[in-house]
Amino acid sequence: MLFNPLKIRKVFFRNRIAVSPMCQYSSHDGFANDWHIVHYGSRAVGGAALVMTEAAAVEARGRISPYDLGIWKDDHISTLKLITDNIERQGAVAGIQLAHAGRKASVARPSEGGSPLNELNGGWKVVAPGAIPFDAGFQIPDVLDLPEIKNVIDSFVKAAQRAQTAGFRVIELHAAHGYLLHEFLSPVSNRRTDLYGGSFENRTRIVLEVVRGIRKAIPDLVFFVRISATDWLEPEGWTLDNSVALSRILKDEGVDLVDCSSGAVVPYAKIPATPGFQVPFAEMIRKETGILTGAVGLITSSVQAEAILQAGQADFILVGRQFLRDPYWPLRAAQELNLKGLWPFQYGRAH
């Protein structure tokens, strides 16, 4: 099944393997450059059906680090277009993840230590649902008021329109990993008492407003939403039951696939990261709601990926770090599963 094609709306995927979004921390002022063109293009040559870019910030202050990819201004479109053209010419579908880092924004890139930055040392003021820092040493965020929430929603919708102009055919909304949208979802980071906090309905409001805005602006796009299916703080955090309930609504709102990650809203949750540890979330959401799901997290072998699909646990396999080790992972996986003839003809003499 790993190499069975899949059609979602009008978009044809040649197999079930996607490059999971992974920050490259290689942009200046949000602009894509040669690194992105080569990096993403290589994974398209390597056989992925969907090559998803890293988190692209919908506002400059929504970047994790100063070097994040951005899509907050029209000027970003032309270099993004070079990426999508390159990916699509190699037979893969180009996707982009739209993100706002909220209270986890403004940190140094990992290769420079990853510490929080402020306005005096190259960072900027961060915003969040509440004045609760992510961890010791992180900024106390500015609290988004109602007009500012409207602006953030508008930034996501405008970013989606730019993504479409740039040629992306899949858009993934990043509502996971403790970034802004997840900060609204989780009761541990959202203690608001207005329309955007308190009840499940209120905490999910911003996500649903963004989803509706994007779906209305771009009716034909293939639309994924990445969630942290649990905060690993049950029962007081965001729970798997909450994720099932949200996914049911997302399906009704025209979302095509829920990409099931987990955690990262607080630094102290204990996460049992073993091979395929998040797959049961994709399975549960798929079975309970009927929406397509993506499985991600420590999926590194062809046999493991095939078994997930065979067991009906997910529809797409998102692969992260294994793609950093090996851009040709899908082609090797095909060989392991005894499928022949997938390597590009240019490399034929080696296979």
Chain residues that interact with ligand FNR, rule: CB under 6 A:
20-23, 54-55, 97, 174, 176-177, 226, 261, 296-299, 319-322
Which is nearer to ligand FNR, 325 or 340 (by Cβ)? Answer: 325
Nearest-approach distance from CB 96 to ligand FNR, in angstroms: 11
Nearest-approach distance from CB 320 to ligand FNR, in angstroms: 3
Task: Please indicate whether residue 196 is annotated as part of the active site.
Answer: no
Which is nearer to ligand FNR, 111 or 193 (by Cβ)? Answer: 111
Decide if 100 contacts 58 (C-beta within 8 A).
Answer: yes
Nearest-approach distance from CB 346 to ligand FNR, in angstroms: 28
Q: Are strands 93-99 and 69-70 parallel, antiparallel or unpaired?
A: unpaired
Which is nearer to ligand FNR, 158 or 174 (by Cβ)? Answer: 174
Nearest-approach distance from CB 36 to ligand FNR, in angstroms: 13
Nearest-approach distance from CB 341 to ligand FNR, in angstroms: 26
Prior bond of 235 cis (ω within 30°): yes
Which is nearer to ligand FNR, 21 or 123 (by Cβ)? Answer: 21
For 65-129, give the DSSP string. STT-EE-SSGGGHHHHHHHHHHHHHTTPEEEEEEE--GGG-SB--GGGT--B--TTTT----EES
> 179, 196, 328, 347: which is the annotated catalytic residue?
179
**Helix axes of 205-217 and 240-252: crossing angle, nearest 10 degrees:** 30
For 169, half-sphere exposure in the C-beta direction (CA atoms, 13 angstrom radius) is: 18
Which is nearer to ligand FNR, 33 or 202 (by Cβ)? Answer: 33
d(CA 336, CA 326): 15
In angstroms, what CA-CA distances link 127 with 23, 63, 264, 277, 300?
20, 11, 17, 31, 36
Q: Which residues pair with 88 in a beta bridge?
A: none
Cβ-based burial of 202 (10 A; exposed 0-12, middle 13-18, buried ≥19): middle
- Residue at shortest CB range from ligand FNR: 320
Active site residues: 179
